[in-house]
Amino acid sequence: MKISVIGAGTMGTGIAQIASTKGHEVCLYDSFEGSIENAKTSLEKILNRLVEKERISSEEKENIINRINFSEKLEDIKDSGLVIEAIIENLKIKQKIFSKIENLVSEDCIISSNTSSLSIASIAGACKNAKRVVGIHFFNPAPLMPLVEIIPAVQTSDKTLNAAKSIIDEWGKVTVIVKDTPGFIVNRVARPFYGEALRIYEEGITDFATIDWALKEIGGFRMGPFELMDYIGNDINYTVTESVFTSFYFDPRYKPSFTQKRMMEAGFLGRKSGRGYYDYNSEFPKANEDRDLGKQILWRVLSMLINEATDALFLNIASKEDIDLAMTKGVNYPKGLLSWADELGLSNVLNQLEELYSEYGEDRYRPSPLLRRMVKENKTFY
Ligand SMILES: NC(=O)c1ccc[n+]([C@@H]2O[C@H](COP(=O)([O-])OP(=O)(O)OC[C@H]3O[C@@H](n4cnc5c(N)ncnc54)[C@H](O)[C@@H]3O)[C@@H](O)[C@H]2O)c1
């Protein structure tokens, strides 16, 4: 099956690499001068590194490159079985290209978007036959991150959903099915990892290094929230938070932080700018390794994460298995949040949230109705 990828940036190039590695004929299209050349150069660099590490042979490398038609003509996508759009995150521009794509491919071609924050329904709305439109959301870097969220819009047919899922499963990815709601699973459920950590810092409870230490050392997370925000980039992470907050009609649970906004405004973007919460040109500050303080920090962040995962289940955003898989395979959490909740005891999680809620009187700490119900009925998730 021929796969076409629209937009040869970070995500598009990664997705084209996966499809070609799996043996598909690929068309990688971009309309901007220089983008296609850059994509080819960056892909060659990545593949050369894989050859050096003996992950692939040089013959395989040549085949991967040769199977891709690096194109600046949209007509080259004809005869595709699946089109994956990964252009700029702008609804009007995406809608425009979707209506063009629809006129070039056959009726049974699936057309998908890799959008992180726009609704699939709004993109599909630009097509005459919206039944064949679906969200296929990869994580960065696409060839390395195992998770892919598959998002049916209200218009999507079951046939499209099942076919899209089975293609991505065949690529060896872990797929989860998620409702067309802001942030899908990962970008919604992960918000408190950043937001609550920032809040703890803003209250003056402790510093970045200690919060990171607590989450890593006691919680088992691979990276602390501040390290991770610096890695992702404060501009990108802030923008995702703001977009989720706006899309949820300003639910205070997703409220962005001034601390992060100022970081972004100051150009302290993280690793890529040499400075974020940490200065990457000097020694890292030491954490205050007080285990009692560390446990308090972990409990506060973790109970908020579990509450978010529980609420996603309450609102039928995805199955409990998919919510847990998404967080372990999409953002490397040490455990699925719902099975972690069972381990910790749901009543302990609820108590922590109720303490926060009564101390602050803020809606952001409101426990999910499902958590209350489960504690009342003495139930566990698994
Ligand atoms: N970067 C991430 O971490 C990430 C993760 C998951 C999903 N996404 C989503 O993937 C999409 C692409 O993100 P990215 O980070 O690869 O962006 P990017 O800026 O690296 O690449 C976008 C590419 O699209 C091209 N483009 C823009 N408008 C176009 C048009 N009208 N026609 C053809 N090509 C066009 C640009 O020239 C550029 O090469 C966005 O929808 C984003 O939300 C990004």
Q: Is the pLDDT confidence value at 225 over 90?
A: yes
Write the pLDDT tens digit of every residue in 12-55: 999 999 999 999 999 999 999 899 999 999 999 999 999 999 99
Which residue out of 187, 243, 303, 368 is catalytically annotated?
187
Whether 33 and 167 map to the same domain: the answer is: yes
CA 321 – CA 323 distance, rounded (Å)? 6
Write the pLDDT tens digit of every residue in 80-101: 999 999 999 999 999 999 999 9
Write the pLDDT tens digit of every residue in 240-268: 999 999 999 999 999 999 999 999 999 99
CA 27 – CA 8 distance, rounded (Å)? 10
Q: What number is the average pLDDT over the span 229-239?
A: 95
Whether 119 and 205 map to the same domain: the answer is: no
At residue 60, what are phi and psi to the nearest 5 degrees? Answer: -60, -40
30 CA from centroid of ligand 1 (Å): 10
Whether 222 and 147 map to the same domain: the answer is: no
Write the pLDDT tens digit of every residue in 126-143: 999 999 999 999 999 999
| Catalytic residue check, 265 | no
| Catalytic residue check, 202 | no
Q: Is the pLDDT confidence value at 191 over 90?
A: yes
Query: 133-138 and 147-152 as β-strands: parallel, antiparallel, unpaired?
Result: antiparallel
Work out the mean pLDDT of the chain and round it to a whole number: 97
Whether 194 and 213 map to the same domain: the answer is: yes
Q: 104 with 74: CB under 8 angstroms? A: yes
Q: Whose CA is nearest to atom 12 of ligand 1?
A: 86
Q: Which of 32, 88, 150 to mutate to test the pocket of ligand 1 (most atoms within 8 A of CB)?
A: 88
Q: Whose CA is nearest to atom 2 of ligand 1?
A: 140
Q: Is the pLDDT confidence value at 288 over 90?
A: yes
381 occurs within a structural domain = no
226 occurs within a structural domain = yes
Which residue(s) pair with 113 in the sheet?
85, 135
Q: 153 with 120: CB under 8 angstroms? A: yes
The answer to pTM > 0.85 is: yes
The residue out of 112, 143, 177 marking a domain boundary is: 177
182 occurs within a structural domain = no
Whether 72 and 209 map to the same domain: the answer is: no
Whether 80 and 26 map to the same domain: the answer is: yes
In this structure, the residues whose C-beta lies within 6 A of any atom of ligand 1 are 6-12, 30-32, 35, 86-89, 93, 97, 114-116, 138-140
Q: 29 with 100: CB under 8 angstroms? A: no
Q: Which of 4, 11, 35, 72 to mutate to test the pocket of ligand 1 (most atoms within 8 A of CB)?
A: 11
CA atoms within 13 A on the CB side of 339: 14
Q: Is the pLDDT confidence value at 199 over 90?
A: yes
| pLDDT for position 33 | 83
Domain that holds residue 275: 187-376
pLDDT band at 105 (very low <50, low <70, confident <90, very high): very high
**How does DSSP classify residue 271?**
G
Question: How far, CA to CA in Å, does 105 sit from each of 36, 98, 223, 225, 321?
Answer: 21, 11, 43, 43, 35
With tokens 């303080």, the residue in question is 293
Write the pLDDT tens digit of every residue in 270-281: 999 999 999 999
**How does DSSP classify residue 24?**
-
Whether 193 and 168 map to the same domain: the answer is: no
Closest alpha carbon to 137 in 178, 190, 101, 97: 178
337 occurs within a structural domain = yes
Q: Cβ of 121: how many Cβ atoms within 10 Å?
A: 17
CATH code of 71's domain:
3.40.50.720
Q: What number is the average pLDDT over the span 52-77?
A: 97
Q: 112 with 136: CB under 8 angstroms? A: yes
Q: What number is the average pLDDT over the span 293-305?
A: 98
209 occurs within a structural domain = yes
Whether 260 and 135 map to the same domain: the answer is: no
Which residue out of 116, 119, 303, 368 is catalytically annotated?
116
Exposed, middle or buried, 261 (CB in 10 Å: 0-12/13-18/19+)? Answer: middle
The residue out of 177, 208, 240 marking a domain boundary is: 177
Whether 200 and 52 map to the same domain: the answer is: no
272 occurs within a structural domain = yes
Question: How far, CA to CA in Å, does 82 sit from each of 1, 8, 101, 177, 367?
Answer: 8, 16, 11, 18, 41
212 occurs within a structural domain = yes
Write the pLDDT tens digit of every residue in 142-179: 999 999 999 999 999 999 999 999 999 999 999 999 99
| Catalytic residue check, 116 | yes
- Number of domains observed in the structure of the chain: 2
Q: Is the pLDDT confidence value at 56 over 90?
A: yes
Closest alpha carbon to 82 in 134, 145, 31, 32: 134
382 occurs within a structural domain = no
CATH code of 323's domain:
1.10.1040.50
Q: What number is the average pLDDT over the span 312-325?
A: 98
CA 187 – CA 240 distance, rounded (Å)? 8
∠ Cα 166 167 168 (to 5°): 90
The SS3 of residue 68 is strand
CA-atom Rg of the chain in angstroms: 22
Which residue(s) pair with 5 in the sheet?
28, 84
Write the pLDDT tens digit of every residue in 319-363: 999 999 999 999 999 999 999 999 999 999 999 999 999 999 999
| Catalytic residue check, 187 | yes
The residue out of 120, 147, 177 marking a domain boundary is: 177
Whether 200 and 127 map to the same domain: the answer is: no
Q: Whose CA is nearest to atom 26 of ligand 1?
A: 87
Whether 162 and 191 map to the same domain: the answer is: no
| CA-based end-to-end distance of the chain | 39
Give the helix/strand (H/E) hosting 376: helix 369-376
Whether 109 and 24 map to the same domain: the answer is: yes
Cis, peptide link before residue 152, omega less than 30° from 0: no
CA 276 – CA 267 distance, rounded (Å)? 8
CA atoms within 13 A on the CB side of 202: 13
